[in-house]
Amino acid sequence: MKAARLNPNANSLVIEDLPEPELRPGSVIVRLEAAFASHFITEVIDGSGGYTTPQRPFTPGMDAVGIVEQIADGVRGLAIRERVYCDSYFEAKHPATTGERAFLGNFAMGPHSIELLNEWPDGVYAQKVCLPADCIIPIQPNPAVSGAILCRLGWLGTAYAGFRKIGLSPGAVVAVNGASGLLGSSAALVALALGASQVFALGRRMDALKVVAEIDRRVVAVTDPASLPTLDVALSSVDAGDASSLEALLPHLRRGGAFVVVGAPKVPMSLNVRAVLSNDITFRGSLWFERAQVREILRLAVSGQMNLSVFNPEVFELTRINDALEAAHSRPNPLRHVAISCL
C-alpha cells in the first residue's frame, strides 16, 4: 500500500510503498477513503510546533473516513465493510497508567504518553491504517455526503462537545471567538444546529467572517468584541499567542452564562475571578468529544438541522500530500478545508 512517511531528519513527507498493516489484538484495519489535512500538521512535521511525535519513520495524519476491512477477535460492535470515522485520540484506560493519552500517529499529550505513541505510531495519511478498536466509530446514520466532508467530524465533534458540556440550550445568544478558523467556523454551524437564536462570529479577518456569516441569517460577523450584546454562551477556539480576545468576551456574559475554551492561547489569560464568582459564570475547558457524540452529530445532519453542504473541501490525491498540507496551512476560507483522497 502507499503511505506518506516522515523519515529521520526530513521536514516533508514522502510517498512510499509499504506492506499492508497487520491486524493486532484489539485492533481494526480500515481501508481509508478520505483524511483531513489539518493546518498544524506542518508544524508536527517540521518540528516547529514543539510536538512530541512517534519515533521516525512514521505516517502522520488524523481524522479520516473509511471502510472496515479486518477486525481482531473479540472486538464487538463493528462489521466488515462498514463505513467508519477514525478518531486518532486514544487514552490508556488501565488504572496503572498515569495520564497516557495521545493522538495516535501524530503527537503525545503530556510526558507519560510517548510509549503509547510509539506503540501505535502510524496515522491516516495512507491507503490503510490499523488502530485500536476504541478509535473506530460507525457512521450511523449515514448521511449522503462525501468522505471529504465527513473527515471534518473531529472539528465538529470538538465544538459539539464544548457546547454540550456547558449546556447550550435552544434560543441562546452565542459568540464564537476565532470563527474565521476551521474550528471556530465549525462551532458556528454546530451552535445553529443546537438551536442558537443568534451566533456572533468573532475574529480578526472580516473576509473570512463574512464567509461564515453566509451560512445563515442568524450569524453576524464581528471584529470588535466591544460591539457584542449580552451573551448566554461564549466558545473560544483561539490558539494564537494573544489571549486578549478571550478576556474581552467575559464581561458580555449574562449572569449565569457560560464560557467554554476549546482552543488555548499560547500565553496565560488574565481571569477576573471575582467577576466570574459574583455573576455565577461557568468557565471550563473542553479538549475532545465522547465517541457517542459522533452519532448525535450525524443525526443532526440527517435530520437537516446541521447543513454539512456549507463545507466545500478541496481534495488532493495522496500522492500530492505535501501540496495538500501547504494548502491547508494557508487556510484562507474556513469553510473550504483540505481533504486527502486515500483511495
Q: pLDDT digit string (tens) for 283-325?
A: 999 999 999 999 999 999 999 999 999 999 999 999 999 999 9
3-state SS string for 191-208: HHHCCCCEEEEECCCHHH
DSSP bridge pairs for 338: 37, 314
Per domain, the residue ranges of the chain are: 2-152+311-341, 154-285
Q: Where does the pLDDT of residue 262 fall: very low under 50, low under 70, confident under 90, or very high at 90 and above?
A: very high
Q: Where does the pLDDT of residue 251 fall: very low under 50, low under 70, confident under 90, or very high at 90 and above?
A: very high
Rounded Cα gap, residues 127 and 129, in angstroms: 7
Q: Where does the pLDDT of residue 266 fall: very low under 50, low under 70, confident under 90, or very high at 90 and above?
A: confident
pLDDT at 57: 97
Share of the chain above pLDDT 90, in %: 82
pLDDT at 50: 86
pLDDT at 240 over 80: no
Q: Of 84-88, 95-99, 107-111, 136-140, where does mean pLDDT reach its minimum?
A: 95-99
**Is the distance from CB of 333 to CB of 183 less than 8 angstroms?**
no
pLDDT at 331 over 80: no
Q: Do strands 198-202 and 173-177 pair parallel, antiparallel, or not at all (unpaired)?
A: parallel
Architecture of the domain delimited by 154-285: 3-Layer(aba) Sandwich (3.40)
Q: What predicted TM-score, i.e. pTM, was given to this entire model?
A: 0.95
pLDDT at 298: 97
pLDDT at 15 over 70: yes
**Is the distance from CB of 279 to CB of 253 less than 8 angstroms?**
yes
pLDDT at 304: 94
pLDDT at 97 over 90: no
pLDDT at 241 over 90: no
Determine the average pLDDT of the residues in 134-158: 95
Provide CATH code, domain 2-152+311-341: 3.90.180.10
pLDDT at 265: 81
pLDDT at 96: 66
Q: Of 132-141, 233-242, 256-265, 313-322, where does mean pLDDT reach its minimum?
A: 233-242
Determine the average pLDDT of the residues in 145-150: 96
pLDDT at 95 over 70: no
Rounded Cα gap, residues 1 and 18, in angstroms: 5
Q: Which of 94, 156, 154 is nearest to 124 (CA)?
A: 154
- Which is more confident, 146 or 142? 146
pLDDT at 332 over 90: no
**Is the distance from CB of 165 to CB of 142 less than 8 angstroms?**
no
What separation in angstroms does the CA of 184 have from each of 29, 70, 179, 231, 335?
32, 36, 4, 17, 10
pLDDT at 245: 86
Computed over every residue of the chain, the mean pLDDT equals: 94
pLDDT at 223 over 80: yes
Q: Where does the pLDDT of residue 79 fall: very low under 50, low under 70, confident under 90, or very high at 90 and above?
A: very high
pLDDT at 273 over 70: yes
